[in-house]
Amino acid sequence: MKKRILYIGNYLQGNKTNTSYMHTLGYLLEDSGHIVYYSSKKTNKILRLFDMIFSVLNKRNKVDVIFIDTYSTTNFYYALIISQIARLLKKPYIPILHGGNLPFRLNKYPRFSKAIFNHAYTNMSPSLYLVEEFNKYGYGNVEFIPNSIQIENYGYKERVYDNIKLLWVRSFSKIYNPKLAIDVTKRLVDKGYNSTLCMIGPDSDGTLEELKVYAKQLSVEVEFTGKLSKQEWINKSKDFNIFINTTDFDNMPVSVIEAMALGLPVVSTNVGGIPFLIEHEKDGILVDKNNSEDMTEAIIRIASNTNLAKSLSQNARSKVEHYDWSIVKEKWFSLFREM
């Protein structure tokens, strides 16, 4: 049952990247007794691709299966190339579907998509959203295994709302629309609320410096911490009372799951896989994307209604307890037993 796995994806570690999914899943599988090889740490995209190809060729007789983290941006082409090499080598591979905008790829590049996904041993989706979207395009070979956390690492805390203290955690990238967080804070201040904003994450595309200028122009005070370790941002979260997720595209972000585990009520844009994670007004509040007015009003509702805040917080924690690794790992082990 123990598997030897070659995990292809973003194994970068640095100030411009958050801890990737492959770090988390790979290490958890290793702790469970499986052998995991990783590729690639190369920062240059061309060198990264060649390193991935070399890893597949070099490890082809040492592994049982290849995992391929599959996103909707440049990584889509990495997945295409690696999957076709795996096919030639007759090595089973499993795309792990992450990109919230992957349905765009299915629609615009049907031949490439079929080459990747039709020939996979199975396709693994951490969200029911992508399972549903892939089914629409005729892909029935998609399994749902959610993102997982180790729940004991997330101390639950009920918040108080003397002031509105917003927390945002993500990579600074235009697709995550971090500008919306500053617009919302500006609206809150203009309405007379004592509101603060902390934004945590690495700058992946130059957006961070633009936001610093933008916040200064609006006279909005924002704490930009840069990248923090998991434990550092969990510790810092204790000082905040509402978590906001501002993305235009999304799948099933671990940062939102973590916020729910910590007891932070979540206000999120209603995009991609988010409504499959958050039930509106039960364990979070959903608003239209890029709508600062609606997000502001949702935040005010939570801050001014203790019962609502408490209900959202408790329901969210109960939900994400089912994403604990002790539960999720059994789904992986069941898959491995079938191979």
Determine the pLDDT at residue 21.
80
> Residue 236 CB: number of other CB atoms within 10 A?
16
Same domain, 138 and 277: no
Determine the pLDDT at residue 13.
66
Same domain, 130 and 249: no
Same domain, 11 and 158: no
Number of domains in the chain: 2
Please state the separation of Cα 57 from the chain's center in Å.
30
DSSP string over 177-199: -THHHHHHHHHHHHTT--EEEEE
pLDDT string in tens for the chain (339-residue length) = 799 999 999 887 655 566 678 888 999 999 999 999 999 999 899 999 999 999 999 999 999 999 999 998 888 999 999 999 999 999 999 999 988 889 999 999 999 999 999 999 999 999 999 999 999 999 999 999 999 999 999 999 999 999 999 999 999 999 899 999 999 999 999 999 999 999 999 998 889 999 999 999 999 999 999 999 999 999 999 999 999 999 998 889 999 999 999 999 999 999 999 999 999 999 999 999 999 999 999 999 999 999 999 999 999 999 999 999 999 999 999 999 998
Please state the separation of Cα 269 from the chain's center in Å.
14
Same domain, 231 and 292: yes
Determine the pLDDT at residue 35.
97
Same domain, 207 and 65: no
Looking up residue 67, the CATH number of its domain turns out to be 3.40.50.2000
Q: What are the b/e assignments for 223-235, b being 16+ CB within 10 Å? A: ebeebbeeeebbe
Same domain, 193 and 256: yes
Query: Model pTM?
Result: 0.92
